[in-house]
């Protein structure tokens, strides 16, 4: 196993900074809803909410979103995506929804997430926060809040592990030697 690109402390610092940026951009926490994509966007959304609670003293609602039924490659993939329940605990009508995911790559997951989200209501605006942006977009999607930009080759693989889903906090870049930014 190669050394992680990011370790637990760096991930914690990055999440904290993203929390500050989201609140700054929103000019506070009013009407803010964090919705994490399953599986790893959801624990990140909860951590963002925990960070915001620490420095703002406000509990921002957190939801989870499963995009399996909305993917554009459902019947083309070798393994169909697992289907899990989404949990959107508050009305998103008129709210500022921040979608949260671990890695932004082709943008197709976010395209699917927008479709899924709109089945739950009509937010006033939708923002995108990602821990890692590795480039190679295939659809016109751009993030509003980025933890780390990691320039990658297509043959490489970026793997985010989180304690809640994987037992540890780390970001690994597999494949050809990673360009350490």
Partner 1 sequence: MLDVRSPETEALPGAAEMARWTRKDLLDTDTLSRDEIELILDTAEGMHEVRSRPVAKVATLRGVTVVTLFYEQSTRTRASFEVAAKALGADVVNLTASGSSVEKGESLIDTVRTLEAIGADILVMRHGKSGAPYLAARNTSAGVINGGDGTHAHPTQALLDLFTMHRHAGDLAGKRVVIVGDVLHSRVARSNIWTLLASGADVTLCGPATLLPRTLGSGAEGSRCTVTTNFDEAIRDADIVMALRMQKERQEKGLIPSLREYIAGYQVNARRLAMARPGALVMHPGPMNEGIEIAPDVAHGVTSVIEEQVSNGVSVRMAILYLMATARHA
Euclidean distance between CA atoms 162 and 82, whole angstroms: 19
Alpha helices in 26-149 (DSSP H): 41-56, 108-118
Q: Does 163 bind partner 1 (CB under 8 A)?
A: yes
Residue 86 structure tokens = 């989404």
Q: Under DSSP, is residue 107 helix (H, G, I), strand (E, B) or coil?
A: coil
8 Å CB contact between 129 and 135: no
Q: Which is nearer to partner 1, 118 or 154 (CB)?
A: 118
Window of 10-18, 22-30, 137-145, 171-179 that interacts with partner 1 by CB under 8 A: 10-18
**Segment near partner 1 (CB under 8 A); pick from 8-16, 103-111, 130-138, 170-178:** 8-16
Distance CA 14, CA 45 (A): 13
Q: How far is the CB of 101 from partner 1 (least distance, A)?
A: 12
CB neighbourhood size of 97 (10 A): 25
Give me the least distance between CB of 65 and partner 1, in Å please. Answer: 11
Residues in contact with partner 1 by the rule CB under 8 A: 8-9, 12, 15-16, 19, 38-40, 42-43, 46-48, 50-51, 54-55, 66, 68-70, 74-75, 77-80, 82-87, 119-120, 162-167, 169
């Amino acid at each position: 196993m190669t050394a992680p690109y990011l370790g637990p402390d760096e991930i914690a610092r990055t999440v904290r900074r993203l929390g500050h940026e989201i609140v700054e951009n929103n000019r506070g926490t009013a009407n803010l809803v964090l919705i994490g994509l399953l599986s790893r966007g959801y624990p990140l959304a909860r951590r963002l909410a925990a960070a915001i609670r620490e420095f703002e003293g406000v509990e921002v609602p957190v939801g989870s979103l499963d995009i399996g039924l909305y993917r554009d490659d459902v019947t083309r993939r070798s393994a169909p995506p697992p289907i899990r329940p989404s949990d959107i605990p508050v009305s998103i009508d008129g709210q500022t929804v921040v979608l949260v995911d671990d890695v932004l790559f082709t943008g197709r997951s976010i395209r699917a997430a927008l479709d899924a989200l709109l089945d739950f209501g009509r937010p006033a605006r939708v923002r995108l926060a990602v821990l890692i942006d590795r480039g190679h977009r295939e659809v016109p999607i751009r993030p509003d809040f980025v933890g780390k930009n990691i320039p990658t080759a297509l043959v490489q693989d970026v793997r985010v592990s989180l304690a809640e889903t994987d037992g540890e906090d780390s970001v690994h870049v597999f494949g050809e030697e990673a360009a350490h930014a």
